[in-house]
């Protein structure tokens, strides 16, 4: 088997073929051992001082940079510290670009969303992101790193495999499993009508599911209603198999989100569209609540949004900027969950300024039903909004109207976080999982004979997950209002391991855990294995 260097040196087709070196001989007559020997001579000081060993074949360097999927920050460091990487590489399509810049372009080309764009649209996205392909790559990676292929909805669950297959299980009263009927499922079932279509992302609401394909199409099924669980409509149409959303055909969608009162989608250009809840300009427009047409969320025309997260009645947006991410919010401000220091509603997106005061650079956001959380680049965690049951992790149940650092995680470097109704999970770099908030959603054994219930208002390690001796990389809890979905049973949570294994705990009376519980058992506190391998 040949490595990328072998193929480039021998003249065969390299792993990636986006560029060719105009100044380089096409014969490639020098074998790789000669290059290695030459490199060794230079390392020993037997060559021209300052000469880069691989300068004889820049295409090799480019292919290595592209194939290794280097972080945009690493590519920028190469340009800043080495003249070889900062000078023009003399490759098409732009001979003035450096090798790291071309490598970033090649890595963008690996993504279908980018590859399918017209050249002028690619250039437009480049300018919106700051004028560099490294910025475009970082913009794409922000969404990919924030996304989850495992969604714990209110009563049903969706899991997406690494090859884009979709599994669904749990409550199916409105056809929200997409399996062609309305029968509940207690084991994961593949949605066969989608085979051949690569699904990359899912959003799950009350009796409603949305799926996004790698070609930008949105499929929906379940209760035919974008308006949310609060709308009582006995005459709604049930869609039991995935149906493409016609109103979004002109938009290349990369992410969907479902809140309690609305749905939202994000386009590849970084624009946000919302469905419904537009009365009194609560989401940037004044349409009637019954309106289910996608409406462009104005106010962010010059800021590309990389990721969105929907709470019950508000929306958080992680926006890309070359010097770091920023967070905008819009919607209902009760409890301070918009993060602006007040409880008033915002009909237009507004920047959360508190992060600048904290020297906090957000890289991930999670909008819970009534509270929110953000992860910083340095591993710190902020929470804000309603503090019921201690879900903010500050040791009390008081609300916070601005993002506030969780002091109980001061010595923990977090790499992932998620929020539910009154629950927050944080995954540490070493795989430990911390949680705070409603004990009903957490994996703790409660003492029924104790005079007072346990205190979940500060971060605690989830010992039952730690006992599995597997590194957890993601947590996905139900993010929906329980009182609107009480017939679905208690909320549930998934834990994703770095091995690709999947575990579940919490409520499972409708099959949403992927296993059938014993008669009379409504929920489990010990993680159970779900028969799906994600990788």
Sign of CA dihedral 113, 114, 119, 125: positive
The terminus-to-terminus CA distance of the chain in angstroms comes to 24
Chain region(s) in the chain for CATH 2.130.10.30: 249-529
Rounded to whole angstroms, how far apart are CA atoms 408 and 167? Answer: 37
Q: Given a cut of 80, is residue 319 above it in pLDDT?
A: yes
The secondary element (H helix, E strand) that includes residue 417 is strand 414-419
Predicted pLDDT of residue 455:
72
Secondary structure class of 440 (helix, strand, coil): helix
Sign of CA dihedral 41, 42, 44, 48: positive
pLDDT-derived band at 12 (thresholds 50, 70, 90) equals very low
pLDDT-derived band at 439 (thresholds 50, 70, 90) equals low
Q: Given a cut of 60, is residue 124 above it in pLDDT?
A: yes
Rounded to whole angstroms, how far apart are CA atoms 508 and 315? Answer: 28
Predicted pLDDT of residue 270:
96
pLDDT-derived band at 227 (thresholds 50, 70, 90) equals low
| pTM (predicted TM-score) | 0.87
As a whole number, the mean pLDDT across the chain is 86
CB 456, CB 497: distance < 8 Å:
no
Q: What is the DSSP letter of 519?
A: T
Predicted pLDDT of residue 440:
53
Query: Among 3-7, 73-77, 208-212, 376-380, which is the least confidently predicted range?
Result: 3-7
Secondary structure class of 353 (helix, strand, coil): coil
Arithmetic mean of pLDDT, 346-375:
96
Q: Given a cut of 80, is residue 21 above it in pLDDT?
A: no
Residues 225-249: b if buried by 16+ CB within 10 A, e if exposed = bbbbbebeeeebebbbbbeebeebe
Greatest C-alpha distance within the chain: 83
Q: Given a cut of 70, is residue 132 above it in pLDDT?
A: yes
Predicted pLDDT of residue 5:
36
Arithmetic mean of pLDDT, 337-359:
96
Arithmetic mean of pLDDT, 29-33:
43
Rounded to whole angstroms, how far apart are CA atoms 199 and 170? Answer: 20
pLDDT in tens, 498-529: 999 999 999 999 999 999 999 999 999 899 99
pLDDT in tens, 137-184: 999 999 999 999 999 999 999 999 999 999 999 999 999 999 999 999
Q: Given a cut of 60, is residue 233 above it in pLDDT?
A: no
CB 149, CB 164: distance < 8 Å:
no
63 closest CA partner among 115, 9, 14, 10:
14
3-state secondary structure 129-185: CCCCHHHHHHHHHHHHHHCCCEEECCCEEEEECCCCCEEEEECCCCCCCCCCCCCCE
CB 239, CB 222: distance < 8 Å:
yes
**Considering the domain 249-529 in this protein, what is its CATH number?**
2.130.10.30
How many helical (H) and strand (E) elements, i.e. helices and strands, does the chain have?
Answer: 11, 28
Cβ atoms within 10 Å of 303's Cβ, excluding its own? 18
Between 425 and 234, the higher pLDDT residue: 425
Query: Among 69-83, 203-217, 376-390, which is the least confidently predicted range?
Result: 69-83
In the chain, pLDDT over 70 holds for what percent of residues? 84
Q: Given a cut of 70, is residue 454 above it in pLDDT?
A: no
pLDDT in tens, 258-284: 998 899 999 999 999 998 787 777 888
Helices (H), 48-118: 58-67, 72-81, 83-86, 99-109, 112-115
């Amino acid at each position: 088997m040949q490595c990328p260097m072998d193929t480039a040196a021998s003249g065969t087709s390299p792993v990636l073929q986006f560029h060719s070196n105009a100044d380089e001989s096409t014969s490639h007559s020098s074998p790789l051992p000669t290059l290695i020997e030459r490199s060794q001579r230079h390392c020993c000081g037997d060559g021209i001082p300052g000469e880069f060993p691989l300068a004889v074949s820049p295409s090799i360097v480019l292919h290595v940079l592209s194939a290794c999927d280097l972080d945009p920050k690493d590519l920028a460091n190469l340009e800043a510290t080495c003249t070889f990487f900062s000078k023009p590489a003399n490759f098409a399509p732009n001979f003035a670009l450096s090798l790291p810049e071309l490598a970033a372009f090649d890595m963008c080309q690996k993504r279908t969303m980018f590859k399918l764009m017209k050249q002028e649209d690619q250039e437009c996205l480049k300018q919106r992101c700051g004028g560099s392909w490294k910025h475009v790559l970082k913009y794409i990676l922000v969404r990919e790193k924030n996304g989850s292929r495992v969604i714990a909805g209110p009563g049903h669950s969706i899991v997406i495999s690494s090859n884009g297959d979709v599994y669904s299980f749990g409550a199916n009263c409105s056809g929200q499993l997409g399996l062609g009927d309305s029968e509940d499922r207690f084991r994961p079932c593949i949605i066969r009508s989608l085979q051949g279509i690569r699904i990359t992302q899912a959003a799950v609401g009350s009796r409603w599911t949305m799926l996004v394909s790698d070609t930008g199409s949105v499929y929906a099924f379940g209760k035919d209603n974008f308006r949310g669980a609060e709308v009582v409509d006995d005459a709604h149409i049930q869609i039991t198999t995935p149906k493409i959303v016609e109103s979004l055909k002109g938009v290349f969608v990369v992410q969907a989100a479902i809140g309690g009162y609305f749905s939202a989608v994000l386009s590849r250009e970084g624009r946000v569209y919302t469905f419904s809840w537009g009365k009194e300009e609560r989401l940037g427009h004044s349409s009637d609540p019954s309106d289910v047409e996608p409406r462009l969320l104005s106010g962010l025309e010059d800021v590309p949004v990389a990721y969105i997260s929907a709470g019950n009645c508000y929306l958080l947006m992680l926006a890309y900027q070359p010097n770091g991410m920023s967070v905008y919010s819009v919607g209902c401000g009760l409890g301070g969950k918009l993060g602006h220091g007040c409880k008033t509603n915002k009909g237009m997106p507004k920047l959360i300024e508190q992060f600048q005061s904290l020297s906090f650079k957000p890289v991930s956001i999670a909008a819970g039903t009534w509270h929110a959380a953000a992860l910083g680049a340095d591993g710190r965690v902020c929470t804000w909004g309603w503090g019921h049951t201690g879900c903010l992790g500050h040791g009390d149940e008081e609300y916070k109207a601005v993002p506030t650092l969780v002091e109980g995680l001061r010595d923990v470097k977090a790499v992932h976080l998620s929020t539910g109704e009154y629950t927050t999970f944080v995954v540490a770099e070493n795989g430990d999982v911390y949680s705070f908030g409603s004990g009903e959603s957490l994996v703790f054994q409660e003492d029924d004979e104790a005079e007072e219930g346990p205190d979940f208002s500060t971060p605690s390690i989830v010992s039952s997950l730690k006992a599995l001796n597997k590194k957890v990389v993601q947590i996905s809890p139900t993010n929906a209002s329980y009182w609107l979905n009480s017939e679905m049973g208690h909320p549930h949570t998934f834990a994703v391991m770095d091995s690709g294994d999947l575990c579940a705990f919490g409520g499972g009376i409708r099959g949403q855990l992927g296993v059938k519980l014993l008669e009379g058992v409504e929920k489990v506190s010990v993680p159970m294995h779900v028969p799906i391998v994600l990788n």
